[in-house]
Amino acid sequence: MPRTLYDKIWDEHVVHTEDDGTAVLYIDRHLVHEVTSPQAFDGLTLANRKVWRLSANLAVSDHNVPTTDRSHGITDPISRLQVDTLDANCDRLGITQFKMNDRRQGIVHVIGPEQGATLPGMTVVCGDSHTSTHGAFGALAHGIGTSEVEHVLATQTLLAKKAKNLLVRVEGKLSPGCSAKDMVLAIIGKIGTAGGTGYTIEFAGSAVRALSMEGRMTVCNMAIEAGARAGLVGVDETTISYVKGRPFSPAAGLEWDQAVRYWSTLHSDAGAHFDLVVELDAAQIRPQVTWGTSPEMVLSIDGVDHTIDATGDGPVDAAFNAVKMLYPHRARLQLYQVHAVTEGTDAQATVSVRIEEDGRIATGQSADTDTVVASVKAYVNALNRLIVRRTKSAPGENVKSVNMRDA
C-alpha cells in the first residue's frame, strides 16, 4: 500500500498503540536548551531516574546568551541562572552540550543540522515550537512541553497521536526577488494560521525541490505558524549532499552507504493518500508583506489593501448577531476593518475588530477566503480576550466552541 513520508517515519518509530490511537513513539534525537529543561531535570532527580540514552541527547544554551560580546558573561541574573543550570545538569548527567563559549554553539535549530545531529528519517523533538525546522531533512520533528522533555529524557519515547496528512505542492519557478520565506508566507496566506491544525504538512513540488537546505528549513520552520505541529520535505540529493561528512553523520564507507540507501526511500510513494492537498503556482507568488500580530495577515507586495471601517445590514451583521445569541454580552463594536487581497481566485479577507465592554477593550484578527467566516473568527477572538479578563469572577466562560461556518 502506498504511504506518505509521514506514514513511513511514523510506522518505523511506533513502539505501541492503544485502542484510542495514543502511541508510544521512539525518539531518535532530543535537542535540549536552557529554558524548557530545568523542571524536567528536577523531575528526574526527584524520581531518582537517569537519562535513558545519553547519546540521543544534545544540549545547547541559545535563548539567553549574548549575541555579541560574551567576554563579561551574562549580566541578567535570570538568564545567567538558566544557562548555569543547564551547564550543571549536563555536566552531572553526562549529556553532550555546546556551552556558551563553545565554537559549535548556536541556535538549537541550526546546530542540529550543522553538526549532522539531525538526519533523514529521524524523530526529533525539542522543547521549542519551531522544532519543525528539522523536517526539512525528511525528519519528523516537532516541539514538546517541559513534562514531555522529562518523559523523553527518562524513556527516550513520547506519547503521541498520529496527525492527518496535508500535502502542500508548489510547482514552477519562483519569480526574481522571491525567497523561501515568501513561499511559506504565501502558503499561510492561503490556508491561514489554523489551516494546518491536526495535520503534518509535507511540502513538495518542483519549487520546493529547487530550494537550498536553508530554504527548506525556512519553510518547515513556519509550518507551526500555519497551525501544523510538523512539516516535512522528502529526501533528495540536496539533502544527502548537505549531511555528508558532518560530525554526527554516519561515517564514510559501509555505514554511509547503508544510510543513503535507506534515506533514498524517504519520500511519499506515488498514489499515497493525503487527507488534504493544497496547490500553489510558484510563478504567481510575489514578495510578501506582513503586518499586525499574525502571519496570516499577509499581502503580496503588489496586492491591494481595502479598508472598510463600518458594518451595515448584511451577512456579517447576521453572523455577529448569531454569536450574541450564543453568548449574550454588552460589548460594543468600536471598529470593524476588512483588508482584502482583490486579485486572484483565492482572494483572502483579513478582518480586524475592536470591541469595548465596561471600559475594557479587546481586539481580534482572523483571515479566510470567506469574509463572513473571517469576521466571526475575529469577533470571537476579541470576545474571548474580554472573557479572559473576567475569568477571576466567572471562571470557565468561553465561546471558542462556536462553529464559524454555522454561526
d(CA 179, CA 68): 28
In terms of DSSP H, where are the helices of 296-370?
A: 315-326
pLDDT digits (tens, 9 = 90+) for 178-215: 999 999 999 998 888 888 999 999 999 999 999 999 99
d(CA 141, CA 121): 10
Res. 376 pLDDT band, cuts 50 70 90 = confident
pTM of the predicted model as reported, rounded to 2 decimal places:
0.77
**Average model confidence (pLDDT) for the chain?**
88
The answer to whether 99 and 111 are in contact (CB under 8 A) is: no
Higher pLDDT among residues 382 and 329, named by residue: 382
Helix 108-115 to helix 213-221 angle (10° resolution) is 140
State whether residue 266 is helix, strand or coil: coil
Task: Retrieve residue 226's grid coordinates.
Answer: 500555519
For residue 143, CA distances in Å to 106, 127, 311, 386 come to 18, 5, 41, 29
The pLDDT of residue 392 is above 80? no
pLDDT at residue 356 in the model: 81
Q: Which residues pair with 59 in a beta bridge?
A: 32, 97
Residue 279 CB coordination number (10 Å) = 12
Task: Retrieve residue 407's grid coordinates.
Answer: 454561526
pLDDT at residue 382 in the model: 84
What mean pLDDT is predicted for residues 36-52?
96
The backbone torsions φ and ψ at residue 142, rounded to the nearest 5 degrees and listed phi first, read -160, 165
pLDDT at residue 350 in the model: 80
The answer to whether 183 and 288 are in contact (CB under 8 A) is: no
pLDDT at residue 308 in the model: 43
pLDDT at residue 203 in the model: 98
Task: Retrieve residue 48's grid coordinates.
Answer: 531518582
Query: What's the full length of the chain, in residues?
Result: 407
Q: Name the residue among 176, 180, 168, 166 with its Cα closest to residue 238.
A: 180
Task: Retrieve residue 393's grid coordinates.
Answer: 469572577
d(CA 219, CA 184): 5
Higher pLDDT among residues 339 and 362, named by residue: 362
- 317, amino acid identity: D
The answer to whether 240 and 116 are in contact (CB under 8 A) is: no
